[in-house]
């Protein structure tokens, strides 16, 4: 089936409340840089040679499991900390987006001999510090997942001032890219 530009819709059923909410938030907050068909987003560059600095990973083919890895990226601005704003979503919104990404990312990844397909890896669970009613992304300290190649410097806990600072960081990165 072919679709005209702009006619794609979120394909997570509304009956899956948390996952659907995560897909909607992902579409609203992450679509400018990331591709994930289940949220009807196309922000990744199709060709790495023409990609801009803010072209994020294509989650149709990139596996993002377990969920604590996704939450780490949300809180810390990805794994490089270069362009993704820290705490792009927080609190329950962050949990919903992390659950959505961990569940749906990598489903279109090509099968590679000798590797475990993404959809057979466990989604995992978040530590209680994220799921308690009083938990906030700014107060939760997440260590980098063992599968992430992250330096110790980028693994420091986030502060409450991160939300406003990350917005300025993101705007500065966009200006820097525009002048390059």
Dist CA 160 CA 138 (whole Å):
5
- Domain range enclosing 150: 17-179
Residue 63 CA to residue 144 CA, distance in Å, equals 16
| pLDDT number for residue 133 | 55
- Return the half-sphere exposure (C-beta side, CA atoms, 13 A cut-off) of residue 53: 16
Is there a domain that residue 1 lies in?
no
Q: Is residue 3 a part of any domain in this protein?
A: no
Which pLDDT does position 7 carry in this prediction? 59
pLDDT digits (tens, 9 = 90+) for 47-62: 777 777 778 889 999 9
* Regions of the chain where pLDDT drops below 50: 1-4, 135-180
Structural domain includes residue 128: yes
For residue 88, the domain's CATH number is 1.10.760.10
Residue 5 lies in a domain: no
pTM of the model: 0.69
Q: At what angle do helices 91-104 and 17-30 cross, to 10 degrees?
A: 100
Domain count, the chain: 1
22 part of a folded domain: yes
Q: Residue 154 falls within a domain, yes or no?
A: yes
- The answer to whether residue 2 sits within a structural domain is no
Q: Report pLDDT for 4.
A: 46
């Amino acid at each position: 089936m072919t679709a005209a530009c702009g006619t794609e819709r979120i394909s997570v059923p509304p009956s899956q409340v948390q996952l659907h909410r995560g897909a909607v938030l992902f579409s609203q907050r992450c679509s400018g840089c990331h591709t994930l068909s289940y949220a009807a987003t196309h922000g990744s560059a199709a060709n790495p040679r023409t990609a801009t600095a803010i072209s994020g990973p294509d989650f149709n083919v990139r596996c993002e499991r377990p969920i604590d890895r996704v939450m780490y990226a949300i809180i810390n601005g990805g794994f490089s900390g270069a362009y993704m704003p820290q705490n792009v979503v927080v609190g329950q919104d962050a949990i919903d987006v992390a659950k959505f990404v961990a569940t749906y990312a990598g489903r279109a990844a090509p099968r590679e001999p000798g590797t475990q397909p993404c959809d057979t890896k466990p989604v995992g669970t978040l530590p209680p510090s994220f799921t308690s009613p009083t938990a906030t992304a700014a107060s939760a300290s997440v260590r980098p997942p063992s599968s992430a190649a992250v330096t110790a410097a980028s693994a420091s806990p986030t502060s409450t001032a991160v939300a406003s600072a990350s917005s300025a960081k993101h705007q500065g990165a966009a200006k820097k890219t525009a002048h390059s």
